Amino acid sequence: MKNHFFYFVLTFLSASIFYQKPFLKVRSYVIRKTGVGLGVGVNIRPGHIFWPQKSMKNLKIGSGTFANFNFRVEMGTANVTIGEFCQIGPNVSVECVSHGLIYREAVGRGSASSDVKIGDKVWIGSNVTILGGVTIGDRAVIGSGSIVTKDVEADAIYFGVPAKKHCSIDDSYL
């Protein structure tokens, strides 16, 4: 019941008026109270939705990570781990839950959840969808509008529908 209260308060604090500096610490405090493992200096803009089936403790966000407006995580029973110093654009969606294709009278379509792991220093552009079962390697870049259906290598740039590797990131990009 306590977590439901904090989740209600968090939803209230998601209004854009509460993005002002004095409210950032309050928002982080409330997010932590819902059970999310939140690192130091995490900045999550308003409009986010964390949707667990079991517990908010299944979501861990590393220190220094920034998530822009309308960040959505549909966890179901899966674990979602986001590394340190990640940059997540607006309208990014992490969808861990999938449903069966065949409707069965007794159970409907059913559902299954798969974990998602996002490495450290990953940059995810706006309007990206990340599906369950995906691991994104450290320092990867995902282009805007992509749908990530398979694992992403570290130090690489991926974009498209579905997201595909377009090049590796090396010292020439510095």
Determine the average pLDDT of the residues in 1-27: 55
Q: Over the stretch 84-120, which tens digit does the pLDDT of each residue have?
A: 999 999 999 999 988 877 888 877 777 888 999 999 9
Q: Over the stretch 129-159, which tens digit does the pLDDT of each residue have?
A: 999 999 999 999 999 999 999 999 999 999 9
Residue 5 reports pLDDT greater than 60: no
Residue 8 reports pLDDT greater than 60: no
Residues 6+ positions from 147 with CB-CB distance below 8 Å: 128, 129, 131, 161, 162, 163
Helix (H) or strand (E) holding 41: none
Smallest CA-to-CA distance from 135 within 151, 148, 156 is with 151
What is the model's pLDDT at position 10? 52
Residues 6+ positions from 66 with CB-CB distance below 8 Å: 42, 43, 44, 86, 87, 88
Per-domain boundaries in the chain: 2-173
Q: Which of 24-28, 148-152, 168-172 has the lowest mean pLDDT?
A: 24-28
Active-site residue set: 99
Cβ pair 126, 109 in contact under 8 A: no
CATH superfamily of 2-173: Hexapeptide repeat proteins (2.160.10.10)
Determine the average pLDDT of the residues in 46-53: 73
Smallest CA-to-CA distance from 151 within 136, 166, 167, 131 is with 136
Q: Over the stretch 54-75, which tens digit does the pLDDT of each residue have?
A: 677 889 999 999 999 899 998 8
Task: Check residues 10 and 122 and name the one with the higher pLDDT.
Answer: 122
* Helices of type H across the chain: 2-13, 21-33
Pairing of β 93-95 and β 72-76: parallel
Encoded tokens for 106: 């007794």
Task: Check residues 76 and 128 and name the one with the higher pLDDT.
Answer: 128
What distance in Å separates the CA atoms of residue 98 and residue 57, rounded to the nearest whole number? 20
